[in-house]
Structure 1
Amino acid sequence: MKIVIPAVSLEKGGGARFLYQVANALIDRGQNVEFVMPQQGIVEWPVRAKITRVKELSPKAFPSCDFILPNFYSTVFPAWQSKKGKVVRLSLVYEPLCVANPELSKATYSIDAPIVTISQWQRQLILSEVGRDSSVISGGVDSAFFHPSPKLSARTGQKTIFYILRGPGYSWKGNSDFLEACKYLKERFPNFTLLVVNPEEQTFETTFPYTIMKAKSDQEMALLYARADLFVYASYYESFGLPPLEAMACGTAVITTDCGGNRDYTRNGENCIVIQPSDVMALTEAMYHLLTNDNERQRFADAGQTFAKSWTWQRTADQLISVLKQL
């Protein structure tokens, strides 16, 4: 099959990661994949698919193909109007929740095109909002990078927490809840180290120290997951949420909020601890419990690693190929 994927940009971030990983996995499955991007679009991921640069993502910019997979609201109507291939609306996020034009973005779900989304939670959200059902494909983990490594605490004697700390524009990531929980944790368990990746490179006022780490590649990110004793995810909502699954694959115990899309792979009490969003005291208690209970923390780490092994990008590609063949 010839599959065309319009992309505004392929910068570092969850949506672009999903696209490049799926595209590479589709190529490994023998599919012909081409990205169509504006000339100014940034590419930061190691994409192996063909990239065609165009002046703008207008209908005439699309080549003939079997399927076009618009994945952001601004690319849907140009893809639909091109008539160059069967349009399948790939929903990586339900845009009306997070863009400045909620009505325009919602309208893109009403065209007569099949919808593919990335979690059962988002499938139900789209169904309730626009009355249209969708097929579900899942995210994955690249085991070439995301696998266990020795823990820093074995050398330092201090337990390590790893967190992805986003800037003020990402309030739904739960940063303030996490930082407040760390303040309470420090009063009960002072002997921990906090490592954070801060993509926006902004500083945050805290009453406790933390170290900002750089992660310019999957390999560097995987080492941060793997060397930590605990990974925490505090989001209010996510369409899927790759980081907890990646941390599991790296053999690190996970505490995560029930943020929607991660329900497909989180099993509270089995492969992670799941708390409600914004419950600072529950988050504090969960971190304290796992940092002071080595056997319990290791049980979650082992269960998570075992569970994550089958969640590969090749599996994602196979799911997508199956959906497209049915169409």
Structure 2
Amino acid sequence: MKLVIPVLSLETGGTRYIYQMANEMAKRGHEVEVVLPENAVIAWPLCTKISRVKELVASTIPSGDFILPNFWPTVFPAWESKKGQVVRLSLGFEPLWVKEKEKALATYQIDAPILSISQWHQQIIRQETGRDSTIIPGGVDPSLFHPSPKKSLSTGAGLTIAYILRAKEHGYTWKGSDDFWDAIRITSQKFPQFTVQVVAPEGATYPSPVPYEQIIASSDHEMALFYAKADIFVSTSYFEAFAMPPLEAMACGTAVITTDNGGNRDYTKKGENCIVVPPSDIQQLAQAMTHLLTHEQDRRRLSQGGLVTARDWTWVHAADRLEKFLLQLTRS
């Protein structure tokens, strides 16, 4: 079958889902064409056909068996093109954060199947639109995201807490970056013998209460090392449709502390593969960090539990589900 995927860009973050699924489907022998504007960024190594167009409108959408628009501005051009069966891929319920809430909401009302990426995401779509969706979750690539020796073991230095900084100044108001630094300040007062390493995809800086090292991770390999060399990974989002970083950190054998952001409920098991705290609860977040910094046995237990969990959450499994879903549509 031929899949057409119109996108505005393929930068870091949630577009990983598109890149991974496009490549997986191409590996299976399906024809996959990604179409995007002339100046759009492609941050991932795509193994598919790439078509550049002046702008994404109905006339520039290629023909295919299925067209999978993934962000609200791409939906109506795909729908109006009438060049293939549209499947509305939702990587997040956009009315929660975009300014054009009504326009974004309207893209869920067209007569097309909807794909969501977690149970919580599915529930939000149903609650806000009255429409059901099929869950095709994300995953990890175990050939890249796997354990490596911890920095604390190889250097004899203190334990390392890793964090991905998506600052509100860059529009990421739901990532909880202020909460992280407030919790770090409290933790450092109780247990100062740790270091903080941060990856900031947009280059954000922060007036941290403790010194921190900013890591440049421009590839999956570098990102995997960032996770794997840390002793603890922390995620502070208020909501996420799926939340890949905690799962990637689990696959790298790192103990995870995460907020209950909705989209991670499908794979988080409180006390078994991670510590889960309420969003914006700075005191509980600080308590969790202090606990893992001072309890090696629990840190190891959670990292082992995360490794076991991550084995079942791969892009191969996700592509299996997408392929099965699309093939069922061709028969209906």
TM class, shorter-length: over 0.9
How far residue 150 of structure 1 moved from its aligned partner, in angstroms, is 0.3
Aligned partner of 2:13 in structure 1 is 13
Between stretches 75-84 and 26-35, larger displacement belongs to: 26-35
One-letter amino acid matched to 2:97: C
Q: Provide the C-alpha distance between the structure 2 equivalents of 1:249 and 1:207, rounded to a whole number of angstroms.
A: 30
1:216 counterpart = 2:215? no
| SS of residue in 2 equivalent to 1:261 | coil
Deviation digits for residues 191-245 of structure 1, max 9, x if unmatched? 0000001122132112211111100000000001000000000000000010000
How far residue 156 of structure 1 moved from its aligned partner, in angstroms, is 2.7
One-letter amino acid matched to 1:13: G
| SS of residue in 2 equivalent to 1:262 | coil
One-letter amino acid matched to 1:104: K
How far residue 38 of structure 1 moved from its aligned partner, in angstroms, is 1.1
How far residue 313 of structure 1 moved from its aligned partner, in angstroms, is 0.6
Q: Provide the C-alpha distance between the structure 1 equivalents of 2:37 and 2:235, rounded to a whole number of angstroms.
A: 33
Deviation digits for residues 76-101 of structure 1, max 9, x if unmatched? 11101111100000000111111110
Q: Provide the C-alpha distance between the structure 2 equivalents of 1:171 and 1:211, rounded to a whole number of angstroms.
A: 23
2:172 corresponds, among 170, 178, 182, to: 170
Are the counterparts in 2 of residues 26 and 314 from structure 1 also a CA contact under 8 Å?
Answer: no
Q: Provide the C-alpha distance between the structure 1 equivalents of 2:313 and 2:28, rounded to a whole number of angstroms.
A: 16
One-letter amino acid matched to 1:136: I
1:315 corresponds, among 308, 317, 324, to: 317
| SS of residue in 2 equivalent to 1:239 | coil
| SS of residue in 2 equivalent to 1:245 | helix
Taking structure 1 as the reference length, what is the TM-score of the superposition?
0.98
Aligned partner of 2:140 in structure 1 is 141
Q: Provide the C-alpha distance between the structure 1 equivalents of 2:202 and 2:64, rounded to a whole number of angstroms.
A: 37
Q: Provide the C-alpha distance between the structure 2 equivalents of 1:13 and 1:187, rounded to a whole number of angstroms.
A: 33
1:241 corresponds, among 243, 247, 253, to: 243
Aligned partner of 2:289 in structure 1 is 287
How far residue 166 of structure 1 moved from its aligned partner, in angstroms, is 1.3
One-letter amino acid matched to 2:87: V
- Number of aligned residues: 326
| SS of residue in 1 equivalent to 2:115 | strand
Aligned partner of 1:181 in structure 2 is 183
2:273 corresponds, among 267, 271, 274, to: 271
Q: Provide the C-alpha distance between the structure 1 equivalents of 2:55 and 2:212, rounded to a whole number of angstroms.
A: 42
Aligned partner of 2:302 in structure 1 is 300
Q: Provide the C-alpha distance between the structure 1 equivalents of 2:209 and 2:7, rounded to a whole number of angstroms.
A: 41
Aligned partner of 2:38 in structure 1 is 39
Alignment gaps of 5+ in structure 1: none
| SS of residue in 2 equivalent to 1:172 | coil
Taking structure 2 as the reference length, what is the TM-score of the superposition?
0.97
| SS of residue in 2 equivalent to 1:284 | helix
Alignment gaps of 5+ in structure 2: none
| SS of residue in 2 equivalent to 1:231 | strand
Are the counterparts in 2 of residues 166 and 199 from structure 1 also a CA contact under 8 Å?
Answer: yes
One-letter amino acid matched to 2:6: P
Aligned partner of 1:160 in structure 2 is 160
Deviation digits for residues 145-182 of structure 1, max 9, x if unmatched? 10000001112330000000112221210111110000
Deviation digits for residues 9-38 of structure 1, max 9, x if unmatched? 111222x11100010111122211110111
1:190 counterpart = 2:201? no
> Aligned-pair RMSD on alpha carbons?
0.8
One-letter amino acid matched to 2:103: L
Are the counterparts in 1 of residues 199 and 215 from structure 2 also a CA contact under 8 Å?
Answer: yes
| SS of residue in 2 equivalent to 1:35 | strand
Are the counterparts in 1 of residues 8 and 36 from structure 2 also a CA contact under 8 Å?
Answer: yes
Q: Provide the C-alpha distance between the structure 1 equivalents of 2:205 and 2:138, rounded to a whole number of angstroms.
A: 31
Are the counterparts in 1 of residues 181 and 209 from structure 2 also a CA contact under 8 Å?
Answer: no
